[in-house]
């Protein structure tokens, strides 16, 4: 079973953080929640492997 990558793997972390913040700027809490849910679903589909997604959930819950 492949492992969730938890070492630095993001090519341009500052740009990704900035893109997330820009997307949420001016959104009400409910709309923000919608946006995050859509992002999680899009990225989970891109990952494809349910085991990786479950490892990420377990880590996030910790």
Partner 1 sequence: MPPHYPYRPPTDPGTRHPIIIVGGGMVGLTAALDLARRGQPVVLLDEDDTVSIGSRAICHAKRSLEIFSRLGIGQALLAKGVTWNTGRVFAGEKQLFAFDLLAEPGHEFPAFINLQQYHLEEILVEACRKAGVDLRWKSRVTAVDPRADGTTLTIETPDGTYQLQADWLLAADGARSATREAMNLPFVGKVFRDRFLIADVTMRAAFPAERWFWFNPPFHPGGSVLLHRQADNVWRIDFQLGWDADPEAEKAPEKVRARVAAMLGPPILPANTEFELDWVSVYTFRCRRLEKFRHGRILFLGDAAHQVSPFGARGGNGGIQDADNLAWKLNAVLRGQAPESLLDTYDAERIPAADENILASTRSTDFITPKNDAAHAYRAAILALAEHHEFARPLVNSGRLSRPAAYTASPLNTPDDAPWPPGLPPGAPAADAPCGEGWLLHHLAPDFTALVFGPTPATMPPGVTALHLPANGLAAHRYGAQAGDVILIRPDQHIAARWHHCDPETIDAARRRCLCLT
Q: Which is nearer to partner 1, 23 or 40 (CB)?
A: 40
CB of 8 to partner 1, least distance (A): 28
* Other beta carbons within 10 Å of 55: 17
CB of 36 to partner 1, least distance (A): 8
How far is CA 40 from its chain centroid? 5
Whole-angstrom distance, CA of residue 22 vs CA of residue 8:
22
Whole-angstrom distance, CA of residue 19 vs CA of residue 36:
13
CB of 34 to partner 1, least distance (A): 6
Q: Which residues bind partner 1 (CB under 8 A)?
A: 30, 33-34, 36-38, 40-42, 45
Q: Which is nearer to partner 1, 15 or 42 (CB)?
A: 42
């Amino acid at each position: 079973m492949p492992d969730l990558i938890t070492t630095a793997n993001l090519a341009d972390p500052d740009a990704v953080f900035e893109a997330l913040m820009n997307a949420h700027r001016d959104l009400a809490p409910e709309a923000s929640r919608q946006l995050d849910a859509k992002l999680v679903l899009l990225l989970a589909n891109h990952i494809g492997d349910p085991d990786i997604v479950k490892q990420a959930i377990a880590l996030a819950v910790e």
